[in-house]
Amino acid sequence: MSEKHNQGGGECPWKSVGAIVHRGNDTSFVLLIHRAKYPVSWAPPAGHLDEVGPSELEDPKDAVMRELSEEVGLYVSRPDDSQLVLKDLLENRCRRENPQSGARYDSHQWWVYRFTVPENFQPTLQRDEATDWRWANRDEIQRLIRQNALDPAWAEIFTRFDTRIFGE
Ligand SMILES: [Zn+2]
């Protein structure tokens, strides 16, 4: 293996946000989209923080609101701290490369927030962002993980934070 390979990409400087979207008061289902971009797979709405100035990143709360509007046409009010499901550094590969090593970044600082939408909510998908959507419960998430059809970062999130997301 080359030295370049061994080095790895390190932590992605753009970081990541994600949204757990529940249907009504029922926390047993979450909204998934089929991503049109890398990694092409099922995942909750998510993305990088935008750069809002020289070496200044978007606030994670602004970023998750923007991703929800861009990916599923959902406009939510600004989340508060009670909606934070997790903040953690997770191992997951990025489509972007570390210019130093040439390797793709392999971890991200994540913020995941929880939202609730009415039962009859219908996502509006942007074709370049997502090609399909569905509600999935815990069993369906586990099945997608076994089929390698869930974004690997979210496979880890749903495995490690299962009860925090779905309840006991
Ligand atoms: Zn990244």
For ligand 1, the distance from its centroid to the CA atom of residue 140, given in whole angstroms, is 27
Query: Is residue 4 over pLDDT 80?
Result: no
Portion of the chain with pLDDT greater than 70, in percent: 96
Using one digit for the tens of pLDDT, what is the confidence trace for 122-167?
A: 999 988 889 999 999 999 999 999 999 999 999 999 999 999 999 8
User: Distance (Å, rounded) from C-alpha 65 to C-alpha 76?
Assistant: 6
pLDDT in tens, 61-73: 999 999 999 999 9
What is the distance in A from the centroid of ligand 1 to the CA of 107? 7
User: What's the gap in Å between 120 CA and the centre of ligand 1?
Assistant: 33
**Separation of alpha carbons 18 and 72, rounded Å:** 13
pTM of the shown model? 0.92
Q: How far is the CA of 36 from the centre of ligand 1 (A)?
A: 16
Per 3-state DSSP, the chain is made up of helix, strand and coil in percentages (nearest 5) of 25, 35, 40
Q: How far apart, in whole angstroms, are the C-alpha atoms of residue 117 and residue 130? A: 19
Reference 36, options 89, 75, 90, 72; nearest CA is 72
CATH class of 3-166: alpha beta
